[in-house]
Structure formats: C-alpha cells, structure tokens
Amino acid sequence: MGRSSTASNSTSWLRSGMVLRVLASLVFIPCFVVIALRGGGYFLGLIALVVTLGMGEFFSMMRAKGLQPFKYAGVTSGLALLWFTYDRNGADAGFAVALVVMAVLALELMRKESRAALTHASTTFFGVIYVAFLSSHMVLLRELPRGLGLPYAEGSAFVFLAFAVTWSGDTGAYLVGRTVGRHPLLPRISRGKTVEGAVGGAVFAVFGALVARYTFAPFLGTVSAVALGLCATLAGLGGDLTESMIKRDADVKDASGVIPGHGGVLDRFDSLLFTAPLIYYFLKFFIL
C-alpha cells in the first residue's frame, strides 16, 4: 500500500510539474528563437528583461533574509553594465565593474544607518555581478561574430548552442533524478539533487551538444562537442547548486512564481548563468 501510494504521488507530481513546464516552454521557446535570430537590440532587450526580473528576485530574497541592498540602484547598475557590454562588445568590462563598485559604495556612504554597511554594499554588488555580469555573456555570445569578423547571423547559433546544452542537461537531471534518483549529491545545499540526476544531466548535455554539432553548430568537432557537454554539465550544476544555496540561506522555496512550472527567472536561468560564460570563452579561445 505504501509503495503504490508513493508511486502514485510521484506520478501525479511528475505530471503536474511537466505539464506546466511544457506549456511554459511552448510559449517561451518560439519567442526566444525569433528574438535570438534577430539579435541586436531585440536580444539585448530580452536579456535586459531577464536581468531586471532576476535581480529583483535576488534582492527580494536578500531583504527576506534581513539585509538591505540597494534594489533600484542595483538593478539600474546591472542594466547599465549590460548595455556597456553590448555597446563595447565586452571590451573594458573592468571599467564598467569599477563604476558599479564606486556607485554602490557612494550610495552606502549616504545611508543614514551605517551599521552593517559592508554587508549591505557587498550584497548589492554581488547581485549585480551574479545576475547582470554573468547574464551579459549571453549578449556577448550573440555579438561574438562582431569581434571575430564573422557573419552576424552566426551569433544566433552560439546562443542556441548555450541554451541547447544547458537545458538538455537540466532536463536530463530533472527526469533521471526524479525517476531513479536515490543517492543525494549535496544534501546540505539541496535535498532534491542526486548523483543519478547529475549523471543523467551529463548524458543529456553531451547528447544535446552532439545534436547541435550535426545540425546548427558545425564549427564544433565531435570531440569538442563531447568536451563542451561535460564541462557545461559541471558549470550548470555549479550554477544550480549556487542558487539553491542562496535560496536555502534566505529560507525560500522558489525565487518567485513568475514562470509557471519553473518558479522564478533565477530558478530557470541559474544553470545558464554559469554555462553561458563557459561556452563564450570556450568558443572564443578554443574553437573560433
């Protein structure tokens, strides 16, 4: 009786979760494909929306924890950093980061209450780097042809590669972990992550990279596609666990409920925050 009840609950949970995920994906994926193909300001606008919502979620979690980051200044700084990255194609990013640091510290100097000033300033700055700076690599991927003298249209393939590998790995980890996962991976951070899920994610990520290699990403070799899939698995897992750590520290289940079946923007893009920089530098230094 206990076993059949558990199986029934598991099946019901999977059905409800997967239905919402599929419906959300049916809406998002076509829009994403069209915008990525257009590139330019259209794609920048999409990532700016992701950054705005993601930073809002992050600062809300930090306020729930009792911290006092500069939410609006942080979001504004993050969007400015994103625009600077787009306009300069990644050049002089250190200058933009330095401006963000100085701006956040200047605001902290003007705060009437100076207790825990370093903690509040650091939280604001971390939010900008964690969400905006890492997200800016999605824009850099789309704009990569500009710096390499390649046809601009090829940038969409770089973006599709990042999403295909990351979401293949996420899907594999989700399906395998929920169906056959038994051994916790890092229970002090996330009780839902399992060793079996991580292995399933690696298999799916490599498969996603190989499918990309033989369809829209011929610039990858077979060996490099496998290597990219494995490296992206580790990076994506790191991103997933990092967001789980942040949520556990803030004592919240989801970053928000803005995406049906997925939670918040950070819940959906947490892996991509880590894999996008990896794939950008992998392509720039070893492939293109």
- Structure confidence by residue, pLDDT tens digits, 124-157: 999 999 999 999 999 999 999 998 999 999 999 9
User: CA 273, CA 266: separation in Å to the nearest integer?
Assistant: 9
Domain ranges within the chain, ordered by starting residue: 1-38+150-288, 41-149
User: CA 192, CA 183: separation in Å to the nearest integer?
Assistant: 10
In the numeric block, the tokens 């809002």 are attached to 56
User: CA 268, CA 261: separation in Å to the nearest integer?
Assistant: 10
Instruction: Please tell me the pTM assigned to this model.
Output: 0.90
Whether 232 contacts 205, CB under 8 Å: yes
pLDDT in tens, 225-281: 999 999 999 999 999 999 999 999 998 888 887 776 567 899 889 999 999 999 999
Tell me the average pLDDT of the chain: 89
Confidence of residue 4 (pLDDT cuts 50, 70, 90): very low
Average pLDDT over residues 35-40: 97
| Other Cβ atoms within 10 Å of 221 Cβ, number | 12
Residue 254 confidence (pLDDT): 84
The answer for residues whose C-beta is within 8 angstroms of residue 116's C-beta and 6 or more apart is 67, 68
Whether 233 contacts 226, CB under 8 Å: no
Question: Position 26: which residue type?
Answer: L
Confidence of residue 18 (pLDDT cuts 50, 70, 90): low
User: CA 288, CA 285: separation in Å to the nearest integer?
Assistant: 7
pLDDT in tens, 73-131: 999 999 999 999 999 888 778 888 888 899 999 988 888 776 888 898 999 999 999 99
Confidence of residue 8 (pLDDT cuts 50, 70, 90): very low
* 9/284: higher pLDDT: 284
Residue 170 confidence (pLDDT): 93
Residue 258 confidence (pLDDT): 78
User: CA 174, CA 196: separation in Å to the nearest integer?
Assistant: 10
Cα separation of the two ends of the chain = 58
User: CA 228, CA 181: separation in Å to the nearest integer?
Assistant: 24
